[in-house]
C-alpha cells in the first residue's frame, strides 16, 4: 500500500480486543470532549487534569503531564492524571528537564521512540520507567499563547512496535489539544489579573462609601423617578451618586419589584456617559440563540430569516451604558461567550468574522443568589467576579415603610391622569397599605393602588375598598404559608403566618409579609392581654378598653395588625366606642 493511502486505511486499536476505530473519528471525538471540559467553570488545575483523563481514554499512554510556566504574579502549575491539592511536586518530578527545556526554547514538538537511546534523556530515562526490558516512547508538544510558549503537554507510553506514522498522528492530535489549552490558559490569566484589579477597585469604592459623612451633614440627593425619603433609600441614593462617577461594573441585587431598572437608569444619567445611549435587555426573556443575536448582532444570511445585517445591543450601547437584567438566568455556555466580551470589550457578530470593539459600561441585575449558583457550578466564578465589581443591594419595600405613602400618592396621581379621575387616599386606606408586607415590593404596591382605584365606588379610596378587607387579596393567597420569599443571605427571611382559627373555624385574614404574633404567647410585662380561658370576643373587648378604644393600640397589645383587629371587631359585632 502506498504511503499516501495509509492515512485513510490506518486504524487504531484503543484497547486489546476492542473494535478498530478510524484515527479521524478519534481526533474529532477527543477534541469535542476536551472542548467541553475546557468550557466548564472549574479551577484551572482540575480542568487540565480532566483533559489528561480524557486523553488517556483516546491514546495509549501511561502517564500524561501538563506543565505551565510562571507568568508575572501567577505561579507555575504542574498537573497529571488524578491531580489533587499538593500533588504538583509528584508530577513535576516526572518531567525530563532537558527535553522540556528544548520544547520551550524551540517551540517545536519532541518525539522520542526510545528514551533510553535519545541524547536528551541521558539522565532522565529512569524517571520515565525505561529499563532493559521496557522500551518507553515520549511525545511532548508546546502550549502557546500567540508566539510565546507558556507550557508543555507531554505523554509517555511503553513502545508497542507501531510505526512512526502512528507517532506523527499523535503529535498532530496533541498539538491541537495544546492549542485549545493555550486559549484557556490565556483567558484564565487575563481573568485572574482582571479579577485582582477589579477587587482592588471594588475595595477602594467600598472604602469611599464607608467614609461618607453622616447623612445629616450632606445635602439630600434627589433622583428623578425615585420616590421616598426613608433611611434605607437615602443610603442607596448616596451610594449611587458616588458609583455613577466611575466606569466600574455594577451588580444590582434585590427582590423582584424593587426598581432595579430605575436604579440602573439613574446610574447612567448621573454618569459622564449620560449623553450616550442607555440600552437594556432582559436576559431571561429570550432563548440563548436569540439572546446571542440580540447582544452581538448578526450578519446577513447568518441564519434563516437574517435578511439584513443588524447591530446588537453592545454596538448600540457604544459610549453609553448597557443594562443586563436577570443575568443570573443565562446558561453556562452563554456565560463563556459573554465573559470574553466583558473582558476584551470586543466581539464578532453572529455569522461574521470582523472583530468589533466597543466602549460600554455594564450594569447588571439579578434576584438570584449568585454565590450559591457559583458553588453549584451553575454560574461561572470568573464571570461573577467580572460583573460584581460594585454590588448594590436594593432594600425591599418592607424595610422602607415610610416611603409607602408618597409612593401610593404618586401611583394614584398617575392613575388619575390616565383615566381623567380625581380620586384621593383616605387616611384609613393608608393605614391598610402601611400594614401590608408587599412581597412584590413597589411593583405590587402600584398594582394594588391601581386595582383598588379602578374598583372603588366613591371619590376616595377607603379602607374597605381593598381586596384584603374582603379576604380576596390574591397576593395573600399566593404567599400564605411560605416561610421565606428571599434568597438566602440576600435579605432577612420573612414569614407569612396565618392567624389562628377562631371559635367558628374561620381564620382571620393575614397580610403577606406581616408576621403576626400569637396573643397567647404575649407576656404580661409587655402590656398584652393574656388569653387564658377568656373567649375571643371578651379578649378583644378587654384590649380595646385597655387602649381607650383606639384600634391601632389594641392591635399592638394583641400582636395583630389594625386591619386584622378591625376585621375581628366586625366579626364579633363589637361596637367601637368614641370617647
How far apart (Å, rounded) are the C-alpha atoms in residues 266 and 221? 12
In which domain, by residue range, is 558 found? 519-571
Q: Of 395, 429, 454, which residue is a domain's last?
A: 395
Clarify whether residues 358 and 292 are in a common domain: yes
Query: Residue 162 gets which letter from DSSP?
Result: -
Cα separation, 84 vs 87, in Å, equals 6
Residues 120, 122, 123, 124: what is their CA dihedral angle, to the nearest 10 degrees?
Answer: 60
| Per-residue pLDDT at 578 | 65
80-103 burial string, b = 16+ CB within 10 Å, else e? bbebeeeebeebbebbbeebbeeb
**Domain co-membership, 452 together with 391:** no
Centre a 10 Å sphere on the Cβ of residue 202 and count the other Cβ atoms it contains. 17
In this structure, what CATH number is given to the domain that contains residue 374? 3.40.50.300
Query: 273 in a domain, yes or no?
Result: yes
Verify that 163 and 277 share a domain, yes or no.
Answer: no
Instruction: Indicate whether 418 and 388 sit together in one domain.
Output: no
pLDDT value at position 221? 62
Q: For residues 562 and 568, what is the distance between their CA atoms, to the nearest angstrom?
A: 10
Residue 71 lies in a domain: yes
Q: How many CB atoms lie within 10 A of CB 18?
A: 9
| d(C-alpha 448, C-alpha 442), whole Å | 10
504 within a domain of the structure (yes/no): no
Q: Is 490 contained in some domain? A: no
Q: How far is CA 343 from CA 193, 334, 339, in A?
A: 11, 14, 6
The SS3 call for residue 507 is: strand
In terms of domains, do 180 and 249 share one? Answer: no
Q: What is the pLDDT of residue 74?
A: 58
Say whether both 220 and 365 belong to one domain. yes
Tell me the H-state helices in 82-122.
Answer: 88-92, 97-106
Regarding whether 468 and 361 lie in a shared domain, the answer is no
- For residues 116 and 178, membership in a common domain is answered with yes
In the prediction, which pLDDT does 276 show? 93
Claim to verify: residue 443 and residue 356 sit in the same structural domain = no
Residues 179 and 248 both lie in one domain: no
**Long-range CB contacts for residues 474-482, cutoff 8 Å, separation at least 24:** 475/438, 475/439, 475/440, 475/444, 475/448, 475/512, 476/509, 476/510, 476/511, 476/512, 478/439, 478/512, 479/439, 479/512, 479/513, 480/510, 480/512
How many domains does the chain fold into?
A: 4
Blockwise average pLDDT, block size 10, the chain, 579 residues: 36 45 66 81 82 82 84 71 68 79 88 82 71 78 88 83 65 88 84 74 71 53 79 88 89 90 92 92 85 86 78 91 92 84 84 88 92 88 88 90 91 91 89 86 90 89 86 69 39 34 37 35 37 65 82 79 77 74
Task: Reduce the DSSP state of residue 354 to 3 states and report it.
Answer: coil
- Both 257 and 302 in one domain: the answer is yes
Q: Which of 175, 190, 205 is the last residue of a domain?
A: 190
| Whether 423 and 562 share a structural domain | no
Check residue 466 and report its DSSP letter.
Answer: S
Q: What contacts 411, CB < 8 A, 6 or more positions away? A: 445, 446, 449, 450
pLDDT at 513 (0 to 100): 35
Amino acid at each position: 500500500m502506498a504511503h499516501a493511502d495509509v492515512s485513510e486505511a490506518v486504524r487504531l486499536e484503543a484497547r486489546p480486543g476492542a473494535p478498530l476505530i478510524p484515527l479521524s473519528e478519534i481526533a474529532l471525538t477527543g477534541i469535542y470532549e476536551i472542548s467541553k471540559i475546557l468550557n466548564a467553570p472549574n479551577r484551572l488545575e482540575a480542568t487540565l487534569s480532566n483533559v489528561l483523563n480524557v486523553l488517556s481514554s483516546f491514546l495509549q499512554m501511561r502517564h500524561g503531564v501538563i506543565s505551565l510556566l510562571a507568568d508575572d504574579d501567577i505561579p507555575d502549575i504542574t498537573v497529571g492524571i488524578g491531580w489533587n491539592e499538593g500533588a504538583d511536586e509528584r508530577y513535576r518530578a516526572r518531567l525530563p528537564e532537558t527535553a522540556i527545556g528544548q520544547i520551550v526554547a524551540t517551540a517545536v514538538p519532541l518525539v522520542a521512540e526510545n528514551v533510553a537511546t535519545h541524547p536528551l534523556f541521558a539522565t532522565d530515562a529512569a524517571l520515565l520507567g525505561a529499563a532493559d526490558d521496557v522500551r518507553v516512547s515520549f511525545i511532548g508538544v508546546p502550549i502557546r499563547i500567540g508566539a510565546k510558549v507558556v507550557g508543555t503537554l507531554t505523554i509517555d507510553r511503553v513502545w508497542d512496535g507501531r510505526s512512526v506514522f502512528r507517532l506523527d498522528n499523535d503529535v498532530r492530535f496533541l498539538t491541537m489539544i495544546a492549542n485549545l489549552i493555550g486559549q484557556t490558559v490565556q483567558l484564565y490569566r487575563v481573568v485572574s489579573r482582571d479579577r485582582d484589579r477589579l477587587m482592588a477597585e471594588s475595595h477602594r469604592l467600598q472604602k469611599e462609601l464607608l467614609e461618607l459623612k453622616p447623612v445629616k451633614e450632606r445635602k439630600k440627593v434627589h433622583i428623578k423617578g425615585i420616590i421616598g425619603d426613608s433611611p434605607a433609600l437615602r443610603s442607596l441614593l448616596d451610594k449611587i451618586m458616588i458609583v455613577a462617577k466611575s466606569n466600574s461594573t455594577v451588580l444590582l441585587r434585590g427582590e423582584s419589584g424593587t426598581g432595579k431598572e430605575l436604579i440602573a437608569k439613574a446610574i447612567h444619567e448621573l454618569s459622564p456617559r449620560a449623553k450616550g445611549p442607555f440600552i437594556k435587555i432582559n436576559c431571561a426573556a429570550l432563548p440563548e440563540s436569540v439572546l446571542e443575536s440580540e447582544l452581538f448582532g448578526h450578519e446577513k444570511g447568518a441564519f434563516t430569516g437574517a435578511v439584513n445585517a443588524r447591530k446588537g445591543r453592545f454596538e448600540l450601547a457604544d459610549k453609553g451604558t448597557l443594562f443586563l437584567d436577570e443575568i443570573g438566568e443565562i446558561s453556562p455556555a452563554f456565560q463563556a461567550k459573554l465573559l470574553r466580551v466583558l473582558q476584551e470589550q470586543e466581539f464578532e457578530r453572529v455569522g461574521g468574522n470582523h472583530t468589533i470593539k466597543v466602549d460600554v459600561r455594564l450594569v447588571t441585575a439579578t434576584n438570584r443568589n449568585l454565590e450559591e449558583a457559583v458553588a453549584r457550578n451553575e454560574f461561572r466564578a470568573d464571570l461573577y467576579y467580572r460583573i460584581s465589581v460594585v454590588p448594590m443591594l436594593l432594600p425591599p419595600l418592607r424595610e422602607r415603610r415610610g416611603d409607602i405613602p408618597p409612593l401610593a400618592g404618586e401611583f394614584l396621581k398617575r392613575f388619575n391622569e390616565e383615566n381623567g379621575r380625581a380620586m384621593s387616599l383616605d387616611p384609613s386606606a393608608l393605614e391598610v397599605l402601611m400594614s401590608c408586607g408587599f412581597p412584590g415590593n413597589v411593583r405590587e404596591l402600584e398594582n394594588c393602588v391601581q386595582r383598588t382605584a379602578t374598583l372603588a365606588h366613591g371619590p376616595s379610596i377607603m379602607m374597605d375598598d381593598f381586596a384584603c378587607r374582603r379576604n380576596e387579596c390574591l397576593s395573600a393567597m399566593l404567599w400564605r404559608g411560605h416561610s421565606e420569599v428571599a434568597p438566602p443571605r440576600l435579605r432577612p427571611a420573612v414569614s407569612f403566618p396565618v392567624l389562628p382559627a377562631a371559635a367558628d373555624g374561620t381564620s382571620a385574614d393575614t397580610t403577606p409579609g406581616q408576621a403576626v404574633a400569637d396573643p397567647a404567647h404575649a407576656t404580661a410585662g409587655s402590656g398584652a392581654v393574656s388569653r387564658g380561658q377568656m373567649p375571643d370576643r371578651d379578649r378583644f373587648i378587654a384590649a380595646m378598653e385597655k387602649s381607650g378604644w383606639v384600634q391601632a393600640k389594641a392591635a399592638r397589645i394583641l400582636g395583630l395588625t389594625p386591619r386584622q383587629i378591625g376585621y375581628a371587631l366586625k366579626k364579633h359585632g363589637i361596637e367601637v366606642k368614641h370617647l
